[in-house]
Amino acid sequence: MSVVQMSVAVEQTQTNQKQQPNLWSRLARPALGLLVPLALACGWELAVRAGLSNGRLVPPPSRIYVEFAELARSGELLRHVIATLLRVAVGFGLGTAVGTVLGAIAGYSSLLRRLLDPSLQGLRAVPSIAWIPLFILWLGIFETSKVALIAVGVFFPIYLGVMGAVLSVDRKIVEVGRAFRLTGFAMVRRILLPAVLPAYVIALRSGLGLGWMFVIAAEFMGASEGLGYLLIDGQQLGKPAEIVAAILAFAVLGKITDWIVAVIAVPFLRWEDRFSAHAGEG
Amino acid sequence: MLALERVGKTYPNGVHALLRAISGLDTPSQGRVLLDGEPVMAPHEKIGVIFQEPRLLPWLSVAGNVGFGLEDRPKTERHARVAEALARVGLSEKAGGWPRELSGGQAQRVAIARALVPRPQVLLLDEPFSALDAFTRVDLQDHLLDLWTDLRPTLILVTHDVDEAIVLADRIMVMRPRPGRIFEEIEADLPRPRDRQSAAFDHVKRRVLAALDRSLARPVRVDDSETKTSAGAALWW
């Protein structure tokens, strides 16, 4: 038995030990997060079954499931989900486009920042819901005003995120670009764009979150379809199960769309020296 | 051929201002920088810069960083030159890695490769090794000389390390602070490779240290008088 063999043996046991917690963490750790909601749901279900409560105002999971399945089976759910998704998509797209362009301009040119930023910061101080009456007067009660409200909600975090990211690009890195004689568009493409990308993804995700917030406000102001309509409908007809089903749909959709943005960003941000990338392993 | 015509710029530190003016990153407040008779007004393709920090672009792989200045070349040529440069600095196996995975010395080696790959005529080095530990510094000095022998660009090195100046330079300019002016020029025509322990090396070092003392108007602490005569110099050589 030589020293070399021994050291090889030690390495092997180390890799084995490493793989096991990896497998465990991949399966069991996300499941850990489900423990609390599952326990609460089961507890409430049992409480209603045992007759401790009639569950009329706070429906047990089984009743919510039945409501959800009924909505899904009749095609109602899909119709409302599509209506809401469309509004969020158009509003998010609009808000993102305008926010990105204005944020980039304000970050890049100090003159335009001095010109634009105070007004935009002033508008940002207005709670976006306050725009609803004006938007209804200007744009009518149909889709346009709803989309406009969502776009306004999405605009501000993206504008702020892009402007802040452009402003905080490291001068030293920009200097590297200058030393390699990059100017104008080449500088933007090869230095500024990659440098702001991590902050941009965060801005997109917070913008999307606000988009989902504002779509409910928009649908509260009068809609014939959409998940927000479902919420109002459930309230007016006294159907808490329908409300909870709509809330669940919101949760699922919000999570999925956020996840999509995050997943699309992953290949572009692989280079990041992130704390979580290392901390997640341990 | 690089010429400086009374370059002046108010800057906290004269020597960095001078280097930035030569690089074209800053325009001098008066005077001109001429390269082959042409004034340098902006960063120039024949002038490479190595900063105090590696300043690698974190979103590019190590190979991507080395090839950063070759974007306009055909892909095959770019790959070949990047691979060659990485091999020369001994980092071929890191080509696909990210800058964050490199040690300080490795990152600075990549920065050197990045500056040398476009084959500049002049390479400016702004205290390139000052942030590294002593062993890595000596290692990188030798590395730089090794790379330099290929193309022999004009190196202009700013350093606060007298030994580094003597190992690398043929002409050493001592600068005086406030206002930053070139105070004294010392020839260091030692044979290469230079032996850091040799008497001749020590002799040049004494002259540089004495010049530094004089430039700060301090009493000369290092006695270089005996070596000023040619007889004395012969004695040292």
Q: Domains of chain A: which residue ranges?
A: 1-53, 61-279
pLDDT at A12 over 60: no
Residue A176: which of B45, B57, B100 has the nearest Cβ? B57
The larger pLDDT score, comparing residue B1 to residue A187, is at: A187
Residue A102 has pLDDT above 90, yes or no: yes
- Work out the average pLDDT over A9-17: 45
Measured distance CA(A59)–CA(B73) in Å, rounded = 68
Q: Does domain A61-279 have CATH number 3.40.50.2300?
A: no
Residue B230 lies in a domain: no
Model confidence at A86: pLDDT above 80: yes
Interface of A with B in 196-255 (CB under 8 A): 197
CB contact under 8 A, B57 and A175: no
What was the pLDDT predicted at B235?
40
Which residues neighbour A214 within 8 Å (Cβ) at sequence distance 6 or greater? A91, A128, A149, A150, A152, A153, A154
When CB atoms are compared, the residue of A173, A178, A181 closest to B57 is A173
Give the DSSP H or E segment for A173. helix A171-179
Strand B154-158 versus strand B122-126 pairing type: parallel
At B173, which CATH number? 3.40.50.300
CA distance A196 to chain B (A): 11
pLDDT at position A227 over 50: yes
Q: Does B68 touch chain A (CB under 8 A)?
A: yes
| pLDDT (mean) for B85-93 | 85
Please tell me whether residue A181 adopts helix, strand or coil conformation. Answer: coil
In 3D space, the residue among B64, B154, B73, B160 whose CA is nearest the CA of residue B113 turns out to be: B64
Bond prior to B193 in cis (omega within 30° of 0): yes
Q: Reply yes or no on whether the pLDDT at A172 is more than 50.
A: yes
As a whole number, mean pLDDT of residues A73-83 equals 88
- Quick one: what percent of chain B has pLDDT higher than 90? 4
CA of B25 to nearest chain A CA: how many angstroms apart?
Answer: 7
Of A178, A190, A195, the CB nearest to B43: A178
Of B209, B228, B226, B227, the C-alpha closest to B218 is: B209
- Residue range(s) defining the domain that contains residue B29: 2-193
How many whole angstroms separate alpha carbon B160 and alpha carbon B170? 16
Task: Name the residue of chain B whose CA is nearest to A197's CA.
Answer: B59
Contact residues on chain A for B128, CB-CB shorter than 8 A: none
Query: Band of the pLDDT at B179, cuts 50, 70, 90?
Result: low
**Is pLDDT of A156 > 80?**
yes
Whether chain B has a CB inside 8 Å of the CB on A193: the answer is no
**Hey, is the C-beta of A271 within 8 angstroms of any chain B C-beta?**
yes
Of A56-60, A158-162, B176-180, the one with minimum mean pLDDT is B176-180
Chain A: residue whose CA lies nearest to B124: A179
pLDDT for A272 beyond 60: yes
User: What are B90-141's pLDDT values in tens digits?
Assistant: 888 888 888 988 888 889 889 988 988 888 888 888 888 888 888 888 888 8
Mean of the per-residue pLDDT values of chain A: 84
Burial class of residue A240 (count of CB atoms within 10 Å of its CB; 0-12, 13-18, 19+): middle
Strand pairing class (B38-39; B30-35): antiparallel
Percent of chain B whose predicted confidence (pLDDT) is above 70: 84
Closest CA to A214 of A96, A121, A91, A97: A91
How sure is the predictor about A17, in pLDDT bands with cuts at 50, 70 and 90?
Answer: very low
Q: Would an 8 Å CB–CB cutoff place A73 in contact with chain B?
A: no
Q: What is the pLDDT of residue A37?
A: 84
Q: Do B57 and A194 touch (CB under 8 A)?
A: yes
Report in angstroms the alpha-carbon separations of A159 from A97, A167, A193: 10, 12, 15
Determine contact: B72 vs chain A, CB below 8 A.
no
Q: How many A/B residue pairs have CB atoms within 8 Å?
A: 44
- B167: amino acid identity, one letter: V
Tell me what pLDDT residue A115 has. 92
Asked if B184 reaches chain A (Cβ–Cβ under 8 Å), the answer is no
- Residue A70 corresponds to which amino acid? E
* Mean pLDDT of the A112-140 span: 89
Predicted pLDDT of residue A203: 92
- Total domains, chain B: 1
Do the Cβ atoms of A153 and A99 come closer than 8 Å?
Answer: no
- Joined together, the tokens standing for residue B212 give 């530094």
pLDDT category at A276 given cuts 50, 70, 90 is: low
How far apart are the C-alpha atoms of B23 and A181, rounded to whole Å?
A: 11
> Is pLDDT above 70 for A163?
yes
Return the pLDDT at A15.
Answer: 44
> Cβ separation of B59 and A175 shorter than 8 Å?
no
- Evaluate whether residue B227 is within a structural domain: no
Please judge whether A271 and B100 are an interchain contact, meaning their C-beta atoms are less than 8 angstroms apart: yes
Band (pLDDT 50/70/90 cuts) for residue B40 is confident
